[in-house]
Amino acid sequence: SILMERGLFLYNFKNLLKAKGRRETYLCFVVKRRDSATSCSLDFGYLRNQMGCHVEVLFLRYIAAWDLDPGRCYRITWFTSWSPCYDCAQHIASFLRSYPNLTLRIFMARLYFCEDRKAEPEGLRRLHKAGAQIAIMTFKDYFYCWNTFVENREQTFKGWEGLHENSVHLARKLRRILLPLYEVDDLRDAFKILGL
């Protein structure tokens, strides 16, 4: 099926602050071609990690095989259960530099941080600097995914307890990660002056 099972979506995309046991990353995608003021949907669906290959790299291989027309503009939107790891962020940033006619928006359910390596924040900053628009999923994004990618049997999406609060918390964390370093230094100086 091109659509994801309801339980699979709810389990993997739940925006828990501590999501132990959720080891796979799922990526729902929409690819559109922009023609002046209108856009045309070319493809949509979902992918998950495969043995030895992260889902972001799988998608980049998939879209690279399309042989995109350099004279046209494309917009890709991802909804991912986890933010990209450092290595995947590097691959995505490199891909975006190779395709200046392509824009990428990434909406993430949760932020991934490898315990062995604290490089993920730097990866997200580099990804943002390469032009990717990155944000945390909100109720509106979950609602869209439910109606676009999930075999929902016409059931209305109902959020879980804590969805909004967790989205706000994760969005603040992401905003702090993406703050330019000089702004972070300015904030530290201001806190020192205030004695905080």
Active-site annotation, residues:
56
Measure CA 131 to chain center.
13
Dist CA 159 CA 142 (whole Å): 8
Pairing verdict, β 150-151 and 73-80: unpaired
Q: Say which amino acid occupies 178.
A: L
* DSSP output for the chain: --SEEHHHHHHHH---SS-TT----EEEEEEEEEETTEEEEEEEEEEE-BTTB-HHHHHHHHHHTT---TTSEEEEEEEESSPPPHHHHHHHHHHHHH-TTEEEEEEESS----SS---HHHHHHHHHHTT-EEEE--HHHHHHHHHHHEE-TTPPP-PPTTHHHHHHHHHHHHHHHHS-HHHHHHHHHHHHHHT-
